[in-house]
Amino acid sequence: MLGLQGPCWVGAGSDGGIAVSEECGDVRLFGCTRQPLGSVGGQTGHVFGSPAGVCLDSEGSVIVADQQRHQVTLFPRTGAPVCLVSQGLRRPSGVACGPQGRLMVADAGDSYIKVFEYHTEWA
């Protein structure tokens, strides 16, 4: 994939699409045939501090760990971004959706893996 500016982390979706965090401060999206779909910031108007870890949940929503803002944010396919975690994070660097509704966050600031309850239904 051409045109990436300092790719850092990659998250794969169940449909074959991927999300790539970039050093320049955004998250680029690609479809299952690797066609560019735009960026999370461009589609939502969200301004990242320093996006790091990225994953896609079973609904195709993008979840991003932002090291500079000390938070993890959900970007649903439709609707506004939702801050999932903003307390107790020093430098979130990686995220993963786990079984049984778990969200796992690697926090490089204190060298812990933190596990949170995660729900895909957001009203």
Q: How far is CA 16 from CA 58, 69, 88, 110, in A?
A: 12, 29, 33, 33
Q: Is residue 123 part of a domain?
A: no
DSSP state of 83: E
Which residues have C-beta within 8 Å of that of residue 28, sequence separation ≥ 6? 4, 19, 20, 22, 36, 38, 39, 40
Q: Is residue 2 part of a domain?
A: no
Phi-psi category of residue 65: left, alpha or beta, with phi > 0 → left and psi -120 to 50 → alpha? beta
**Average model confidence (pLDDT) for the chain?**
91
- The domain in which residue 16 lies consists of 7-117
Give the lowest-confidence range in 2-6, 33-37, 79-83, 91-95.
2-6
Q: Is residue 35 part of a domain?
A: yes
Q: Is residue 67 part of a domain?
A: yes
Counted domains in the chain: 1
User: How confident is the model over 60-76, as a mean pLDDT?
Assistant: 95
Q: Give the model's pLDDT for residue 23.
A: 86
Q: How far is CA 100 from CA 11, 84, 96, 104, in A?
A: 19, 17, 12, 12
Query: Rounded to two decimals, what is the model's pTM?
Result: 0.92
Q: Is residue 22 part of a domain?
A: yes
CATH number for the domain harbouring residue 26: 2.120.10.30
Q: Is residue 122 part of a domain?
A: no
